[in-house]
Every structure is written in structure tokens, then in C-alpha cells.
Amino acid sequence: NGPRVCAQLYTDNSPYYDQCCGGKVLVVNPNEDAPYLPKEWAASVSSLVVGTRCELTVWSRAGKKGSSRKFTA
């Protein structure tokens, strides 16, 4: 209910399913292109969730440089 979200990135992770995604949340909307994460998010993402019919591509370096990896639901 509400606007569609394609992915959510979290600062905290846990091996326990009910605690797997915690801490601060960064929401990624459909068709959003963000070559740079907000400064406070640099090297702090530890878990993520990707919605159905969405794909999230991340890079190892800022500005879409370095190696990349794609995540789907």
C-alpha cells in the first residue's frame, strides 16, 4: 500500500532470519540511478532486500566503477 519500492539496503545484519535486516534503511525506488551513495552510507551496507520484478546493481567503487554485481528477488 503506497509507492512501489524496488530495494532496501540496511546497515545491520544477523544470521537469525527475524533479525536479518536492521539498523538504518536506504530505500531504492523504481528506475532510480544513484552512482554515489550518501556519504554516511559509504562501506556500511551489510544486507539488502530486492523486490520482485526489480534488479539492483552495485559497484565496488563510487561512480559506477570497479567490479559490479546484480541482485534480484
Q: Where are the domains of the chain?
A: 7-72
Instruction: Compute φ and ψ for 39, nearest 5 degrees.
Output: -50, -40
Question: Residue 31's pLDDT is what?
Answer: 92
The three-state secondary structure class of 18 is: helix
| Long-range contacts formed by 10-16: CB under 8 A, 24+ apart | 10/45, 10/46, 10/47, 10/48, 10/49, 11/41, 11/44, 11/45, 11/46, 12/46, 12/47, 13/46, 13/47
Per residue in 6-53, pLDDT (tens digit) is 999 999 988 888 888 889 999 999 999 988 888 888 888 889 999 999
